[in-house]
Amino acid sequence: MAKVLYPKTDSNEFSIFPFIGEISWGSLISGTQLSLFDDMPTPPRHSIVKKNSSIIPVKNKYNNTENVIQIQNRRYLGNKYKLLALIEEIIEKRCKPYNSFCDIFAGTGVTGEHFNAKNIKIISNEILYSNYVSLYAWLSPEYFDREKIEKYIDLLNSLSTNNDNYFSVNYGGTYFTVENARKIGAIREKIEELKLNFKEKCILLTSLLYAVDKVANTCGHYDAFRKTLDMVVPLKLRTLDIKQSENRNNEIYNKDSNVLINDIEPDILYIDPPYNSRQYCDSYHLLENLIVWDKQDLVGKAKKMDRSNLKSKYCLKDASKSFSELIHKAKCKHILVSYNNTGESKDNRSNARIKDNEIINILKDKGEVEIFEQHYKAFTTGKSITNGHTERVFYCKVRK
Ligand SMILES: C[S@@+](CC[C@H](N)C(=O)[O-])C[C@H]1O[C@@H](n2cnc3c(N)ncnc32)[C@H](O)[C@@H]1O
């Protein structure tokens, strides 16, 4: 049950059920509890019943879920797939009508994609280039030829090599089996050689990124690899279930949030920054290195590249300054902020960088504030279970 936490009221007008649409997602919210590192489940196709949505079924051999990737089929720390029903309910009750939605810390893009519809402009932004490429594949308006992409995917899947390359030399036998690492390197090199436009290249790179994530010998991020290399399933690229007809108004950016904010005026601004000192460029360095492909020298046991230009100010001690600047500059009607209440932990790295009362006070400068919360369990390291983990959404109706 989603609760209004702030301001305090006797009545609780918000409840998660029934979910808007034909399928109750109750089990995703409070029943089946998933790890933050779990692959997000593929819902039955067309299960997200969005008004004005026109999902065109893909009629080909890729039309079964085994061969088709959905945007949420990826492990990503802090992804908001399980929070979508709550976000949707707040938007239904507080923000309608709206024409544009900005997901300014988009990560996987699942939140923007959930609100994607023909008549809505989704603005997605990410500091990591690998995420930008994926967002571009899923959400940018450019037309692409599905059949051409499918042919390329077949071609890439058929590549085989016994030769080492940049990727296998650095990541073979640790993050991946040597066979998979060689294949990943060979596919990545081939994508550079093919004559592709940017959209096509982004689609193939995204297909590779999702496939790599499936065979990585990690517990969901790339800070370290698992000691036992038992992730031996062979790599397989699949096609992406892109809702091309819904993307026509969308915009995708690869900028610092606090720079982009000067240039946009969305009706709804959704803010989901990192919560603690763990930099996403550290956790996803390997995927970033694979997508950028400038073949840098790597350092340390975890084989990380230089990430100095990718560090987020939201992971630093004075994160609240950046947050305050972002809110101050925002030109929008509604602001939604997701922020974790990790509480005080002995592991200083997991402590939240911005305190609740700082968030409330900063938002109050802009308009009326309410807070909604959703409980679910979370795995913090892939091993330890934290019960009573809470995700909150701070909502601010911006004063005119
Ligand atoms: C909590 S995650 C967002 C998860 C996302 N909502 C999802 O469902 O996948 C925060 C994201 O913000 C990105 N990020 C961090 N600092 C940023 C900045 N200054 N500007 C843009 N993106 C940033 C990180 O790379 C990370 O992907």
Q: For the chain, which residues make up each domain, given as ranges?
A: 3-377+388-398
**Residue 288 burial (CB < 10 Å; 0-12/13-18/19+)?**
buried
Percent of the chain with pLDDT over 90: 74
Q: Residue 350: its pLDDT value, please?
A: 73
Q: Using a 6 Å cutoff on CB, does residue 112 contact ligand 1?
A: no
Average pLDDT, stretch 77-94? Answer: 96
Q: Is 125 in the pocket of ligand 1 (CB under 6 A)?
A: yes
Tell me the C-alpha distance between 309 and 197, whole Å.
Answer: 27
Contact 189, 163 (CB under 8 A): no
Q: Determine whether the shortest distance from the Cβ of 354 to ligand 1 is under 6 A.
A: no
Nearest atom in ligand 1 to the alpha carbon of residue 257 is 20
Residue listed under structure tokens 């071609």: 155
* Residue pLDDT, tens place only, 287-325: 999 999 999 999 999 999 999 999 999 999 999 999 999
Whether 128 lines ligand 1, by a CB cut-off of 6 Å, is: yes
Distance 294 CA to ligand 1 centre (A): 23
| 260 CB within 6 A, ligand 1 | no
Number of C-alpha atoms within 13 angstroms, CB side, residue 151?
Answer: 6
Confidence (pLDDT) at 373: 86
pLDDT at 388: 56
pTM: 0.85
Q: Which atom of ligand 1 is nearest to the CA of 107?
A: 27
Q: What is the pLDDT of residue 21?
A: 26
Q: Is the CB of 274 under 6 A from ligand 1?
A: yes
Measure the CA–CA gap between 75 and 371, rounded to whole angstroms. Answer: 27
Cα–Cα distance list, 101 to 112, 333, 340 (Å): 7, 10, 21
Please provide the average confidence, as pLDDT, over all residues in the chain.
84
Q: Ligand 1 center to residue 201 CA distance, Å?
A: 23
pLDDT for the residue 59: 40
Tell me, using a 6 A CB cutoff, whether residue 126 lines ligand 1.
yes
Range with the poorest average pLDDT among 21-25, 228-232, 273-277, 363-367: 21-25
**Substitution site in 126, 134, 254, 282 for ligand 1 pocket (most atoms within 8 Å of beta carbon):** 126
Q: What pLDDT sits at residue 48?
A: 27
Phi, psi torsion values for 337, nearest 5 degrees: -125, 125
Does ligand 1 have an atom closer than 6 angstroms to the CB of 127?
Answer: yes
Question: Residue 113's closest CA among 141, 71, 151, 67?
Answer: 71
User: Which sign does the torsion angle of CA 367, 371, 372, 376 carry?
Assistant: positive
Query: What pLDDT shows up at residue 389?
Result: 62
Q: Tens digits of per-residue pLDDT, 137-171?
A: 999 999 999 999 999 999 999 999 999 999 999 99
| CB-based contacts of 191, cutoff 8 Å, min separation 6 | 156, 201, 204, 205, 208
Task: Indicate if ligand 1 lies below 6 Å from the C-beta of 108.
Answer: yes
The string of pLDDT tens digits covering residues 241-271 is 999 999 999 999 999 999 999 999 999 999 9
* 43 — pLDDT class (breaks 50, 70, 90): very low
Place of tokens 């059949």: 147
CA of 204 to the centre of ligand 1 (A): 22
Measured in angstroms, how far is the CA atom of residue 151 from the centroid of ligand 1?
Answer: 33
The pLDDT assigned to 400 comes to 75
Length in residues, the chain: 400
Q: Which amino acid is at 385?
A: I
Give φ, ψ of 241 to 5 degrees: -85, 75
Kindly report the protein residue whose alpha carbon is nearest to atom 24 of ligand 1: 280
**Which of these, 276, 279, 248, lies nearest to 349 by C-alpha position?**
276
Is the Cβ atom of 256 under 6 angstroms away from ligand 1?
Answer: yes
Q: Is 381 exposed, middle or buried (0-12, 13-18, 19+ CB in 10 A)?
A: middle
User: Is the distance from CB of 239 to CB of 67 less than 8 angstroms?
Assistant: yes
Residue 391 has a pLDDT of 77
CA distance 339 to 70: 25
The token pair at 331 is 């030109």
Mutate to test the pocket of ligand 1, among 127, 258, 261, 284 (most ligand atoms within 8 A of CB): 127
Q: In a 3-state reduction of DSSP, which class is residue 259? A: helix
pLDDT category of residue 127 using cuts at 50, 70 and 90 = very high
Tell me: pLDDT of 378 over 80: no
Mean pLDDT (whole number) for 267-282: 97
Give the number of other Cβ atoms within 10 Å of residue 195's Cβ. Answer: 6
Q: Which residue matches tokens 């300014």?
A: 104
Ligand 1 atom having least distance to the Cα of 273: 10
User: Does the pLDDT of residue 374 top 60, yes or no?
Assistant: yes
Neighbours of 122 (CB within 10 A): 28
Ligand 1 centre distance from Cα of residue 272 (Å): 6
Does residue 363 surpass a pLDDT of 80? yes
Q: Which contiguous run of DSSP H or E holds residue 124?
A: strand 121-125
Q: Which of the residue ranges 25-29, 69-73, 209-213 would you say has the lowest mean pLDDT?
A: 25-29
Structure tokens at 327: 């809110």
